[in-house]
């Protein structure tokens, strides 16, 4: 597969590329033959170049010879170190000609361009859905496989995505990184902070299309809509009576269980509903129900 020409160059018979050293040509030829003579003694992975094996071994040894002098972060590959340095220098070598957005990594630039072209080269073999980035397809495949590779080291719960595990860990650590700038209350989820802010702003983004009433939360709108639809999804297993709100079912069940959560501090009589206790207290206070 090698041709030694008169000018001391070595040419690949497959693609015509020329080299000035025979050993470099031999390494290049492995791209065509798929030969991988360098094998990792730890995991068995094979490489077509000794340099590739050398870099790979750092995964097992933990060696990180490339250190950032700015933040101290270390890397096991020069390429990753070079990309990292662009964070500090602000260098963005790749620019989108459509929207002018700039990127410091070629991979991110290519992925961004698919937004404009609509290209989705990664296709799910199970359902046919297409994606513009490989990692999105990888995450999607877990829907079909049921794979949950991220495990909580404290309670053992499994997750499909790393960000879900990260969020879950806040239950154990008590971390609440999202803080309300108005009242100082803290939350472990950005979504919860967003919902909380509506208390201060008065925003009610959920509107009933039937009567026009607005709500702060989607679940409040869903409950309200049952007034219009007549839907009663909560059914008593004892008598079959149905309710449109779970709280009403819980109160109703006390009829069957004889549970009385509300106790009069004056005479000790117990009631299964707070309204019944309020009415009863008028006996002791003499208060008129009509003011």
3-class secondary structure per residue, 92-111: CCEECCCCCCEECCHHHHHH
CA-atom Rg of the chain in angstroms: 33
Calpha distance 161→147 (Å, rounded): 10
pLDDT, the chain, mean: 89
CATH number of the domain where residue 192 is located: 3.30.160.60
Indicate the SS3 state at residue 234: strand
Q: Are residues 144 and 192 in the same domain?
A: no
Digit-coded pLDDT (tens) for 33-72: 888 889 999 899 998 888 889 888 888 888 989 999 999 9
Residue 204 tokens read as: 């009610």
Domain boundary, last residue among 61, 80, 103: 61
- Domain for residue 275, yes or no? yes
Ramachandran sector of residue 151 (left: φ over 0; alpha: ψ -120 to 50; beta: rest) = beta
Burial pattern 201-238, b for ≥16 Cβ within 10 A else e, equals eeeeebeeeeeeeebbeeeebebbbeeeeeeeebeeee
Q: Can you tell me the mean pLDDT for 207-232?
A: 94
- At 107 the pLDDT is 84
Q: Are residues 218 and 154 in the same domain?
A: no
Domain of residue 204, residue span: 178-229
Residue 260 has pLDDT above 90, yes or no: no
Residue 290 has pLDDT above 90, yes or no: no
- Domain for residue 291, yes or no? no
- At 16 the pLDDT is 87
Contact 25, 12 (CB under 8 A): yes
Q: Kindly report the backbone phi and psi dihedral angles of residue 102, in degrees, each rounded to the nearest multiple of 5, phi listed first.
A: -115, 150
Digit-coded pLDDT (tens) for 85-104: 888 888 888 899 999 998 88
User: Any idea what DSSP says for residue 155?
Assistant: T
Residue 5 has pLDDT above 60, yes or no: no
- Residues 6 or more apart from 273 whose CB is under 8 A from it? 251, 254, 262
- At 276 the pLDDT is 87
Q: Can you tell me the mean pLDDT for 256-272?
A: 87
Residue 242 has pLDDT above 90, yes or no: yes
Residue 3 has pLDDT above 80, yes or no: no
CA angle 101, 107, 110 (to 5 degrees): 55
Residue 58 tokens read as: 């750092």
Percent of residues, the chain, with pLDDT higher than 70: 96
- Domain for residue 85, yes or no? no
- Domain for residue 260, yes or no? yes
Task: Work out the pLDDT band at 271, boundaries 50, 70, 90.
Answer: confident
Q: Are residues 134 and 157 in the same domain?
A: yes
- Domain for residue 154, yes or no? yes
Q: Which residue has the higher pLDDT, 171 or 251?
A: 171
- Domain for residue 279, yes or no? yes
Task: Work out the pLDDT band at 7, boundaries 50, 70, 90.
Answer: low
């Amino acid at each position: 597969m090698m041709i030694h020409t008169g000018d001391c160059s070595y040419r690949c018979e497959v693609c015509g590329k020329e080299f000035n050293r025979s050993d470099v040509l031999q390494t290049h030829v492995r791209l065509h033959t798929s030969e991988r003579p360098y094998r990792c003694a730890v995991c068995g992975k094979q490489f077509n170049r000794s340099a590739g094996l050398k870099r790979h071994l750092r995964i097992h040894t933990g060696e990180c010879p490339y250190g950032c002098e700015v933040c101290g972060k270390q890397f096991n590959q020069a390429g990753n170190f070079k990309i990292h340095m662009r964070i500090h220098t602000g260098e963005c070598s790749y620019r989108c000609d459509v929207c002018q957005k700039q990127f410091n990594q070629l991979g991110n630039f290519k992925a961004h361009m698919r937004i404009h072209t609509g290209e989705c080269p990664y296709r799910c073999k199970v359902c046919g859905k297409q994606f513009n980035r490989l990692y999105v397809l990888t995450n999607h495949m877990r829907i079909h496989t049921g794979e949950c590779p991220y495990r909580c080291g404290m309670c053992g719960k499994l997750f499909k995505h790393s960000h879900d595990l990260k969020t879950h860990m806040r239950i154990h650590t008590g971390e609440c990184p999202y803080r309300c700038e108005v009242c100082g209350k803290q939350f472990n989820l950005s979504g919860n902070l967003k919902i909380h802010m509506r208390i201060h702003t008065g925003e009610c983004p959920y509107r009933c299309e039937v009567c026009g009433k607005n709500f702060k939360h989607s679940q409040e709108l869903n409950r309200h809509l049952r007034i219009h639809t007549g839907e009663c999804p909560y059914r008593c297993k004892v008598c079959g009576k149905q309710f449109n709100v779970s709280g009403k079912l819980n109160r109703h069940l006390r009829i069957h269980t004889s549970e009385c959560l509300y106790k009069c501090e004056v005479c000790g009589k117990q009631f299964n509903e707070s309204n019944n206790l309020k009415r009863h207290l008028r006996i002791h206070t003499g208060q008129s129900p009509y003011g």
